[in-house]
Amino acid sequence: MRVITFNCQGIKNAAENGFFEWMAKQDADVVCLQNIKAREYQLDAEIYHPEGYEAYFFEAFDDDYSGVAIYTRHLPKAVMTGLGFEQCDTQGRFIQADFDRFSVASFSVPSGLSGEDAQLAKEQYLENFAGHFDKTLRKRREFIFAGTLNIAHKPVDLSNWYINQTVSGFLPEEREWAEELFVEKGFVDAMRECNKSERQYTWWPDYNRARELNEGARLDYQITTAGLRKTIQNAGVYKAERFSDHAPLIVDYDLDF
């Protein structure tokens, strides 16, 4: 089973940049998108509904903002949107598809880069999101959470990490949040389970040839419950084409629907 997650920074822009043509060649079972910045009624064109896929969208209340989506080749038993707290539900930051044996969710944590208020909002979101992970541990099924965490967990996940320790995305408290998720709670960072290579980034700032020089951060993840650890086979970042400032993260699992 192949799962792809991608922060498209506007699904229309990503489509214009060739994302859906690329996606059609990937033989992915589930594709999770973040930051679609569109209403579902605006996405009725054929390009947004590739053959063989069911598409599910969860939009933000505000126009041209946030929003997540799931494309799947397998009909889900159920689709859930939101997490029950206003910040998530009004901003369209979580959608989950339930299959027989497991669930796959597309999620997006807000960025704190625009200032102090944004960082405070991000911290509140992370606190609520941690509560959802706690609830997940009590459920009798496996989960894959695919999306933008907006945290670089370790120094290996960020270029020039030493001078970025006071920047949102690599703050000590954010890294502690990730450490608690992956160590204390026992969730699995699917990419790092099988890909230990350095400079494996999924986002680059849009200046100073950052992408060309590979000066970026790993902000996008596939996070699984511990029961799926042994099913993770391959993981990598696709960088040959530029669909947005983020790059698709691809993970293959030894799983059947």
**Residue 156 pLDDT greater than 90, yes or no:** yes
**Residue 179 pLDDT greater than 90, yes or no:** yes
Sign of CA dihedral 236, 239, 242, 246: positive
- Pairing of the two strands 188-189 and 142-148: unpaired
* Contact (Cβ atoms closer than 8 angstroms) between residue 197 and residue 238: no
Q: Closest by alpha carbon to 70, among 95, 90, 50?
A: 95
pTM beyond 0.85: yes
In the prediction, which pLDDT does 164 show?
85
Q: How far apart are CA 53 and CA 234, in angstroms?
A: 23
Determine phi and psi for 117, rounding to 5 degrees. -60, -40
Q: Which residues pair with 251 in a beta bridge?
A: 3, 235
Mean pLDDT of the chain: 96
Q: Which two tokens stand for residue 211?
A: 């992408």
Sign of CA dihedral 44, 46, 52, 57: negative
In the prediction, which pLDDT does 206 show?
87
Q: Closest by alpha carbon to 143, among 197, 56, 89, 80?
A: 80
**Residue 208 pLDDT greater than 90, yes or no:** no
Question: Would you tell me how many other CB atoms lie within 10 Å of the CB of residue 197?
Answer: 11
In the prediction, which pLDDT does 13 show?
97
* Contact (Cβ atoms closer than 8 angstroms) between residue 247 and residue 202: yes
In the prediction, which pLDDT does 163 show?
86
CB-count exposure of residue 164 (10 Å: 0-12, 13-18, 19+): middle
In the prediction, which pLDDT does 158 show?
95
Count up the domains in the chain and report the number. 1
Q: How far apart are CA 67 and CA 38, in angstroms?
A: 7
**Residue 250 pLDDT greater than 90, yes or no:** yes
In the prediction, which pLDDT does 162 show?
86
Containing structural domain, residue 9: 2-253
> pLDDT (tens digit, 9 = 90+) per residue, 7-59?
999 999 999 999 999 999 999 999 999 999 999 999 999 999 999 999 999 99
**Residue 207 pLDDT greater than 90, yes or no:** no
Share of the chain above pLDDT 70, in %: 100
> pLDDT (tens digit, 9 = 90+) per residue, 160-173?
898 889 999 999 99
In the prediction, which pLDDT does 117 show?
97
Any idea what the CATH number is for the domain that residue 29 is in? 3.60.10.10
In the prediction, which pLDDT does 217 show?
96
